[in-house]
């Protein structure tokens, strides 16, 4: 009995990754069909945007989350610089920024993020999405 459970345990340990950051904003990424998998997890850094979980502390407007805290678009430059520092010289150009943005967000804040990323030359981006089939794309939210 315990052998089987242990086998399960190892199975899950191998195929999963421990969540590095706790989300403090609500993020439900939109659906898409033409998705590609993110390879090379070590080259990816995440920028989250959504409505704060604790509205009484952070307001009800959309906020950006970098690492474990709320941030503004102006902090993205520092964030990218720190992420770059932690990579090897050779890999710095391949840094990919994964934008995990809630589907209800307005494009204004996304445009701000993208402009900052361009300014700091982090040009490879990935709009994080959930995979779906064509039939679902236009009917469900």
Partner 1 sequence: MKKPPEINTGSMADISFLLLTFFLLTSSINTDMGIFRKLPPPPDPNVKPADIKQRNIFTVLINKNDRLLVDNKPSDIRMLRQQAKDFISNPSNLETLPEKKLEEIPYLGNYMVSKGVISLQNDRGTSYDMYIKVQNELTAALNDLRDELSMDKFNRKFDELSDPNFIEAVQKAIPISISEAEPKDVGEQ
Residues forming contacts to partner 1 in the complex (CB under 8 A) are 1-2, 5-6, 8-9, 12-13, 15-19, 29-38, 41, 44, 96, 98-99, 101-111, 114-115, 117-119, 121, 123-129, 131, 137-138, 141
Nearest approach in angstroms of CB 11 to partner 1 is 10
Contact 66, 47 (CB under 8 A): yes
Nearest approach in angstroms of CB 99 to partner 1 is 8
| Residue whose CB is less far from partner 1, 63 or 114 | 114
Q: Tokens representing 63?
A: 């906020």
Q: Tokens representing 92?
A: 């710095």
**Bridge partners, residue 66, by sequence:** 69
| Residue whose CB is less far from partner 1, 66 or 101 | 101
Nearest to 94 by CA among 37, 20, 40: 40
| Residue whose CB is less far from partner 1, 89 or 138 | 138
Distance, in Å, from the CA atom of 87 to the CA atom of 4, rounded to the nearest integer, reads 39
Distance, in Å, from the CA atom of 26 to the CA atom of 58, rounded to the nearest integer, reads 12
Distance, in Å, from the CA atom of 77 to the CA atom of 86, rounded to the nearest integer, reads 15
Distance, in Å, from the CA atom of 12 to the CA atom of 124, rounded to the nearest integer, reads 31
| Residue whose CB is less far from partner 1, 44 or 87 | 44
Nearest approach in angstroms of CB 110 to partner 1 is 6
Nearest approach in angstroms of CB 50 to partner 1 is 10
| Residue whose CB is less far from partner 1, 21 or 82 | 21
């Amino acid at each position: 009995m315990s052998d089987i459970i242990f086998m399960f345990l190892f199975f899950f340990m191998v195929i999963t990754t421990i969540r590095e950051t706790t989300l403090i904003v609500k993020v439900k990424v939109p659906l898409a069909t033409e998705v590609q998998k993110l390879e090379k997890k070590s080259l990816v850094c995440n920028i989250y945007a959504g409505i704060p979980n604790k509205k009484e502390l952070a307001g009800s407007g959309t906020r950006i989350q970098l690492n474990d805290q709320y941030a503004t678009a102006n902090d993205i430059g520092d964030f990218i610089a720190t992420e770059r520092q932690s990579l090897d010289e050779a890999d710095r150009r391949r840094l990919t920024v994964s934008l995990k943005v809630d589907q209800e967000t307005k494009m204004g804040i996304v445009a701000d993020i993208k402009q900052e990323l361009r300014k700091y030359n982090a040009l490879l981006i990935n709009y994080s999405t959930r995979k779906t089939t064509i039939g679902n794309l236009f009917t469900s939210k």
